[in-house]
């Protein structure tokens, strides 16, 4: 691993999303030099599924040798960012480095992505990065070696990285476009760069996307932290670069990358937006024991987007409403066999609901397995779910109460056909 040199001692680093994962790892790396770290993140109270808060991160930073300032910050909120910046300047005397790490991800296609999710990703990834940079730049300009580092990918315009999750790619590339523009705008004054991992990194987000078994195909967050540290050591003339973690560490003389592996010697999963295609990533995940929660959507020529099941889901999407979501509170997955085999979902738990082909955006509460012809009959009002279940045509795994609630939607469907 890359050794600390003490170069960041006394520097003030403002990091968004620093309560866990990559953001916290960068904070701890800087803290070992004696840096001041502003933890700008939303999690003040323990999250039921995600580790860490701004306060637990602050305790770790101070234990590592740094000084910490935990600030409750939603990067979509200009007032909260401004207050955090003012607190940082008042407490530490300025800001030397900004790390735009906060990010939201939702790997679904255009029809399956609710606008609330689109707004969330654009608001955090693009607008949040732009806004935080804008508010920090006046203070960065006073620093002797200021840096802005965005955790975002190279601008790979190959359509394969758009077709399955256009909204996410637009939002993430927005962070990269901030690098492109601001690096030129502040050339000679502030170094503005992007950093992206060559492989999958073990984080809560990766666990969500890859499921069980994904961790052994990943590297630890420390490799990204070491790469960020290597960038911070560069002069402001090092700017406008889209850095890959492994590449810069090789230039720093690192030869043994097994120390960064969760399971040394195990094949590693390439990260998104590089050269390997998404289909290959999903296949590699499965070959080594993981279950990817993302897979490329089928083309319009495939049965997933044409045929009677697709037609049925077009009607279902037209019936979705916040009222149905409020009264149902369930996520359903349908594993269909037969002439129109495939995986479909109905989310009646989040936002105003969503429905479409592929895995549900969150873990399903109910999984229904049946022939595609019986699915069409059920939602067309010609086969009651209870009869399908009793006759063995329908297998249900999960909350039976939620399975019964779905009959309400089926009754509405019947009136539309």
Of the listed ranges 156-160, 171-175, 382-386, the one predicted with least confidence: 382-386
**Residue 397 near residue 367, CB atoms below 8 Å:** yes
The partner residues of 369 in beta bridges, in order of sequence, read: 335, 395
Residues 387-402, mean pLDDT to the nearest whole number: 79
Q: 231-273 pLDDT, tens per residue?
A: 999 999 999 999 999 999 999 999 999 999 999 998 888 888 9
Query: Which sequence positions are flagged as catalytic?
Result: 168
More confident residue, 205 or 2: 2
Mean pLDDT of the chain, nearest integer: 88
pLDDT at 324: 84
Residue among 192, 187, 150, 147 nearest 171 (CA): 150
More confident residue, 376 or 170: 170
Within 8 A by CB and 6+ apart from 355, the residues are 112, 313, 316, 317, 320, 344, 345, 346, 347
pLDDT at 51: 82
User: Does this chain's domain 12-287 share its CATH topology with 308-415?
Assistant: no
Angle at 109 between CA 108 and CA 112, to 5 degrees: 80
Helix axes 129-140, 78-92, angle to 10 degrees: 30
CATH fold of 12-287 reads Rossmann fold (3.40.50)
Position 70 confidence tier, pLDDT thresholds 50, 70, 90:
very high
pLDDT at 384: 76
Domain residue ranges of the chain, discontinuous segments joined by + = 12-287, 308-415
Say if pTM beats, i.e. exceeds, 0.85. Answer: no
CATH number for region 308-415 = 3.30.1050.10
């Amino acid at each position: 691993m890359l050794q600390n040199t003490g170069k960041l001692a006394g520097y003030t680093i403002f990091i968004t999303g620093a309560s866990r994962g990559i953001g916290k790892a960068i904070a701890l790396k800087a803290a070992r030099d004696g840096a001041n770290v502003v933890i700008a993140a939303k999690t003040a109270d323990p999250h039921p599924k995600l580790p860490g808060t701004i306060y637990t991160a602050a305790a770790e930073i101070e234990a590592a040798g740094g000084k910490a300032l935990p600030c409750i910050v939603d990067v979509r909120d200009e007032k909260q960012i401004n207050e955090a910046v003012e607190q940082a300047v008042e407490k530490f005397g300025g800001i030397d480095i900004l790390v735009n790490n906060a990010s939201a991800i939702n790997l679904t296609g255009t029809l399956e992505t609710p606008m609330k999710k689109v707004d969330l990703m654009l608001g955090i990834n693009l607008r949040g990065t732009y806004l935080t940079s804008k508010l920090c730049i006046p203070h960065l300009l006073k620093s002797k070696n200021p840096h802005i580092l965005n955790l975002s990918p190279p601008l790979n315009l190959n359509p394969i990285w758009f077709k399955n999750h256009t909204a996410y790619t637009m939002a993430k590339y927005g962070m990269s476009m901030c690098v492109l523009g601001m690096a030129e705008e502040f050339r000679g004054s502030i170094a503005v760069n992007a950093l992206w991992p060559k492989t999958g990194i073990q984080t809560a987000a990766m666990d969500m996307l890859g499921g069980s078994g994904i961790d052994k195909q990943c590297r630890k967050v420390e490799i990204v932290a070491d790469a960020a540290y290597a960038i911070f050591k560069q002069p402001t003339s090092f700017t406008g670069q889209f850095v890959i973690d492994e590449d810069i560490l090789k230039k720093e003389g690192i030869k043994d990358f097994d120390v960064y592996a969760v399971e040394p010697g195990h094949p590693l999963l390439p990260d998104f937006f590089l050269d390997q295609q998404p289909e290959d990533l999903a296949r590699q995940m499965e070959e080594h024991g993981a279950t990817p929660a993302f897979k490329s959507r089928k083309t319009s020529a495939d049965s997933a987007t044409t045929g009677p099941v697709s037609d049925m889901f077009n009607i279902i999407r037209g019936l979705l409403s916040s009222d149905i979501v409020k009264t149902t509170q369930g996520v359903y997955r349908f594993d269909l066999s037969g002439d129109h085999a495939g995986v479909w979902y109905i989310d009646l738990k989040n936002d105003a609901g969503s429905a479409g082909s592929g895995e549900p955006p969150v873990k399903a509460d109910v999984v229904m397995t049946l022939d595609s012809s019986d699915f069409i009959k059920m939602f067309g009002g010609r086969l009651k779910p209870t009869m399908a279940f009793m006759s063995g045509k329908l297998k249900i795994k999960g909350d039976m109460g939620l399975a019964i609630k779905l009959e309400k939607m089926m009754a509405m469907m019947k009136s539309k056909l």
